[in-house]
Amino acid sequence: MRILMIGDIVGRPGRRAILNSLPDLRSELNIDFVIANGENAAAGHGITKEIAKQLFAAGVDVLTMGNHVWNKKEIIDYIDKEKRIIRPANYPPGTPGLGYNIFPAKDGVLIAVVNISGRVFMQELDCPFRVVDQVLAEIGDQTNIIIVDFHAEATSEKVAMGWYLDGRVTAICGTHTHVQTADERILPKGSAYITDVGMTGPRDSVIGVTVDSVIEKFITQMPRKFEVADTDYQLNAVVIGVNPQNGLAYEIERVFNLE
CA distance 108 to 37: 24
CA distance 20 to 8: 16
The residues pairing with 147 across neighbouring beta strands, listed in sequence order, are 113, 171
Separation of first and last alpha carbons in the chain:
27
The type of residue at 155 is T
45 is catalytic: no
The two beta strands, 2-6 and 233-242, are: antiparallel
User: In Å, what is the CA distance from 171 to each residue of 62, 193, 251?
Assistant: 15, 6, 10
CA distance 132 to 233: 33
What are the residues whose beta carbons fall under 8 Å from the beta carbon of 99, sequence distance 6 or more?
86, 87, 88, 89, 90, 91, 114, 115, 116, 131, 135
Q: What share of the chain is helix, strand, coil (3-state, %, to 5)?
A: 25, 30, 45
* Catalytic member of 68, 151, 176, 178: 68
User: In Å, what is the CA distance from 120 to each residue of 30, 97, 130, 154, 155?
Assistant: 36, 23, 15, 6, 9
Q: What are the residue numbers of the active site?
A: 68
